[in-house]
Amino acid sequence: MTWLDLGDDAPFDAWTLPYGAFSAAGEEPRVGAAVGPWVLDLAPLAAAEGLDGAHLFAQSTLNPFLAAGRRAWDAVRGWVLELVTEEAHRELVEPHLVPLGDVELRLPFTVADYVDFYASQTHAENVGQLFRPDSPDLPAAWRHLPIGYHGRAGTVVVSGTPVVRPSGQRRAGGPGSSVTFGPSARLDIEAEAGFVVGTPSALGTRVPVGAFEDHVFGMVLVNDWSARDIQAFEYVPLGPFLGKSFATSVSPWVVPLAALAPARVSPPPRSPAVASYLEDGEPCGLDVEFEVVWNGTVVSRPPLRDLYWTPAQQLAHLTVNGASLRTGDLYASGTISGPRPGASGCFLELTWNGADPVRLADGTQRTFLENGDTVTIRATAPGPAGTRQRLGEVTGTITPPPAP
């Protein structure tokens, strides 16, 4: 379908066409689209073509493009798809293909508010058993609404940013044991899908489920690093705070929702029936397969398709109280864990709170993260005409805490 020779094993095909912010040596950062092993440098291309929105790409973040709205998103995607599929554009395009290896990828958008949900039933049940063994697995509200909370927007970082092991207060052992301060001993990941808001909404109004595609621009892969010992001590009654706020990594490439159209699936059946503001007519689930790689070993394959609450329902819930949206809002699914073995989206579940270590390909064993460990989360989804598309990756390496 493309006149480009993408080579074997290219990070992206010519359908996905995700957007990101890059800087090439000595030049101002700007917005591009990824295709094969290149960044398509959109600013000079759009200028050469005399496009109205050319200024949207001569920017250090995606935010102005996000704010331009769905018609602009659709028009730009149509234009880029044409550039890479019709060979007539070869002469125009080739000078603006920058090898990915020659650029630095930046945080693709300035995050306004960051919300994290808890939408995987298997994850919620597992965490309930581990953290609250004397209570029902699922919190009382869980089947009524997508439970969520606000995270720290200022510590959302781009893939590749080192993750400094956080310190905090935690118990030496079980409930009632002594409280000490020091580096987290139970540092974990959370493999999640994140959704990026483009079109804002007014305070005091709601965004219905059906308006999902008018407001949400696309998806990133998220690793919501979590310090389980700090979190377990602090989270009653106001939720996670220091256990999560030290870093959340996102992939540098934002996959437009339009590219995920072939991945649409029906979500699992819900019982009891959902409140009317959460009813979803169209299939709003997404058949995205994640892959968690720990120091080079694939340890888990979490499936997004099992998510109990879809991204459209999460958005409707987030705004049903009249809370406004801003361009750059990010909301994530929460840890994605499937009901099958080998489908856990965090190591708390994968190792059953450390009781069942994982053996990596180099022969080492792991329960939680050690300094120097690298975790990469990748994802794929159905593409057009039976193909499978790659959706990028988010990676990070743990570094020791600084001397106090």
Residues of this chain that bind its own copies (CB under 8 A): 112-113, 116, 118, 131-132, 139-141, 144-145, 147-155, 157, 161-162, 164, 166-169, 175, 179, 181, 203-206, 227, 230, 233-243, 245-247, 275-277, 317-318, 320-326, 329, 399, 401-402, 404
Q: What is the DSSP string of 307-341?
A: -SS-HHHHHHHHHTTS----TT-EEE------SST
CB-count burial class (<10 Å; 0-12, 13-18, 19+) for 317: buried
- Nearer Cβ to its own copies (319/389): 319
Rg (CA), the chain: 21
Q: Which is nearer to its own copies, 76 or 147 (CB)?
A: 147
CB of 240 to its own copies, least distance (A): 7
Cβ proximity to its own copies: between 180 and 266 the closer is 180
Distance CA 127, CA 352 (A): 10
Cβ-based neighbour number of residue 25 at 10 Å: 7
| Residue 224 in marked binding region | yes
Beta carbon nearer to its own copies, 311 or 383: 311
- Annotated binding residue at 91? no
Instruction: Write the DSSP string, 141-180.
Output: TTTTS--EEEE-GGGEEETT--EEPPEEEEESSSTTSPEE
Residue 19 annotated as binding?
no
CB of 127 to its own copies, least distance (A): 8
Q: Measure the CA–CA gap between 20 and 253, rounded to whole angstroms.
A: 5
The answer to whether 292 and 300 are in contact (CB under 8 A) is yes
Is residue 116 a known part of a binding site? yes
**Residue-level length of the chain:** 404
Residue 244 assigned ligand-binding role = yes
**According to the annotation, is 152 in a ligand binding site?**
no
Q: Measuring CA to CA, how many Å separate 311 from each of 115, 246, 278, 291?
A: 12, 25, 11, 20
96 as an active site residue: the answer is: no
Nearer to its own copies, 88 or 202 (CB): 202
Residue closer to its own copies, measured from CB, 144 or 359 = 144
Other Cβ atoms less than 10 A from the Cβ of 381: the count is: 23
From the list 38, 3, 11, 73, the residue with the least C-alpha distance to 389 is: 11
Name the minimum Å distance from CB 53 to its own copies. 25
**Angstrom distance (rounded) from CA 145 to CA 159:** 31
Q: Residue written as tokens 């004397």?
A: 134
Rounded least distance, CB 158 to its own copies, Å: 12
Catalytic residue among 96, 123, 215, 317: 123
Please report how close the Cβ of residue 63 comes to its own copies at its closest, in angstroms: 14
With tokens 């030049």, the residue in question is 27
399 known member of a binding site:
no
117 pairs with which residues across the strands?
148
**Residue 145: CB minimum distance to its own copies, A:** 5
308 among the known binding-site residues?
Answer: no
Q: Is the dihedral of CA 97, 101, 103, 107 positive or negative?
A: positive
Binding-site positions read 116, 118, 132, 190, 192, 224, 231, 235, 244, 248, 335
Binding-site positions for Mg(2+) read 224, 244, 248
Binding-site positions for substrate read 118, 132, 231, 235, 335
So which residues are the catalytic ones? 123
Binding-site positions for Ca(2+) read 116, 190, 192, 224
